[in-house]
């Protein structure tokens, strides 16, 4: 009977977990639909800034100022390899170039890097992922990075690009300093560009790229969480079927054993 009770408790626990994962899947599906719709509106921000860099042929600075990586994640988990894929690339980059500073958007990648590479973390932005990002959030993060005075010869933004409901791709997007933009070979083709205009555009482009990458990453996160919760619900369903079968077999064995004991006792008294 103790075994029956243990199986019953476990069966009830798995059913409760399945209810939770199914609810999380429904919530993620609703958030994913909204995130995908907003992503279509945010893509021109990132594409426009990248096209300017390409047309002006902006290159990395010469020198040993080090590397800056902006890693985009969030504070929430249960979404597959969305955060760990970012953390893995950042670890490899730091190992290749110890003179690397990392700005982390979201608490999950900070947890991945904190123990071994805490000294390389220049800034952490938390409270990300609870609400959909707006351009104002990206502008505040960009302003904080600029005010921090971080200097770099080479920079990039790491985030997950949404591909389909079941797939994403971890992407590197180049990031250039104001000096690199000012020294671009084809910048003179643009008229009326003085240092103030270049500074204003560099600040705006950083905010635009951050906004775009945060939207891409949020959509990838929600779709991945939806898929993860769907798989978890299916696995829970399979476990429920196995536990139900085990419970029925165990109960049948207990009933059979009790019947045998009753019959044996009756035969003994009858004789």
Domain boundaries, the chain: 42-225
Q: Residue 252 pLDDT > 60, yes or no? A: yes
Calculate what percentage of the chain has a pLDDT beyond 70: 96
Instruction: Spell out a b/e string for 107-123, using b for 16 or more CB atoms within 10 Å of the CB, else e.
Output: bbbbebbeeebeebbbe
214 or 149, which is more confident: 214
Q: For the residues 24-48, what does the mean pLDDT come to? A: 92
Place of tokens 């993860």: 228
Considering only 58-67, 82-91, 146-155, which range has the smallest mean pLDDT?
Answer: 58-67
Q: For the residues 217-221, what does the mean pLDDT come to? A: 94
Residue 187 pLDDT grade (very low, low, confident, very high; cuts 50, 70, 90): confident
Q: How far apart are CA 225 and CA 30, in angstroms?
A: 12
- The CATH number of 42-225 is which of 3.40.50.2000, 3.40.50.300, 3.40.1380.10, 1.10.150.120? 3.40.1380.10
Q: How far apart are CA 73 and CA 86, in angstroms?
A: 8
What pLDDT score was predicted for residue 266?
A: 66
Secondary structure element (H or E) that encloses residue 147, with its range: helix 135-147
Q: How far apart are CA 59 and CA 53, in angstroms?
A: 8
Considering only 66-75, 79-88, 182-191, which range has the smallest mean pLDDT?
Answer: 182-191
Considering only 196-200, 207-211, 237-241, 265-269, which range has the smallest mean pLDDT?
Answer: 265-269
4 or 129, which is more confident: 4
Q: Residue 195 pLDDT > 90, yes or no? A: no
N-term to C-term CA, the chain:
30
**DSSP E strand stretches across the chain:** 67-72, 100-105, 121-125, 154-164, 167-175
Q: How far apart are CA 135 and CA 125, in angstroms?
A: 15
Q: How far apart are CA 7 and CA 3, in angstroms?
A: 6
Residue 188 pLDDT grade (very low, low, confident, very high; cuts 50, 70, 90): confident
What pLDDT score was predicted for residue 170?
A: 93
**DSSP E strand stretches across 61-133:** 67-72, 100-105, 121-125
Cα 189 to Cα 2, 7, 15, 62, 185: the distances in Å are 82, 75, 65, 23, 9
What pLDDT score was predicted for residue 271?
A: 53
Cα 10 to Cα 13, 92, 238, 250: the distances in Å are 5, 42, 14, 14
Looking from the CA of 155 toward its CB, the CA atoms found within 13 Å total 25
Q: Residue 268 pLDDT > 80, yes or no? A: no
Measured over the CA atoms of residue 53, residue 54, residue 58 and residue 60, the dihedral's sign is positive
* Averaged confidence pLDDT in the chain: 89
What pLDDT score was predicted for residue 57?
A: 85
Q: In what order do the strands lie in the sheet with 154-164?
A: 121-125, 100-105, 67-72, 154-164, 167-175
């Amino acid at each position: 009977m103790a075994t029956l009770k243990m199986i019953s408790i476990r069966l009830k626990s798995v059913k409760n977990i399945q209810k939770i994962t199914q609810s999380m899947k429904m919530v993620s599906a609703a958030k994913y639909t909204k995130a995908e719709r907003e992503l279509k509106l945010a893509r021109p921000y990132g594409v426009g800034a990248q096209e300017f860099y390409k047309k002006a042929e902006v290159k990395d600075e010469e020198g040993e100022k080090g590397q800056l990586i902006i890693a985009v994640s969030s504070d929430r988990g249960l979404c597959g390899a969305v955060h760990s894929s970012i953390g893995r690339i950042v670890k490899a980059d730091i190992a290749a170039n110890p003179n690397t500073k990392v700005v982390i958007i979201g608490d999950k990648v900070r947890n991945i890097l904190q123990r071994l590479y805490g000294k390389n973390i220049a800034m952490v932005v938390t409270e990300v992922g609870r609400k959909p990002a707006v351009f104002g959030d990206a502008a505040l993060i960009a302003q904080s990075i600029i005010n921090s005075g971080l200097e770099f010869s080479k920079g990039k933004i790491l985030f997950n690009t949404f591909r389909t409901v079941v797939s994403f791709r971890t992407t590197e997007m180049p990031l250039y300093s104001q000096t690199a933009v000012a020294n671009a070979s084809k910048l003179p083709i643009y008229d009326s560009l003085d240092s103030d205009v270049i500074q204003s555009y560099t600040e705006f482009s950083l905010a635009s790229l951050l906004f775009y990458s945060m939207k891409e990453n949020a959509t990838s996160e929600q779709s991945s969480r939806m898929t993860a919760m769907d798989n978890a619900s299916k696995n829970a369903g399979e476990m429920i079927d196995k536990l139900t079968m085990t419970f029925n077999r165990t109960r049948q064995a207990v009933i059979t054993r009790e019947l045998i004991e009753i019959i044996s006792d009756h035969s003994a008294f009858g004789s």
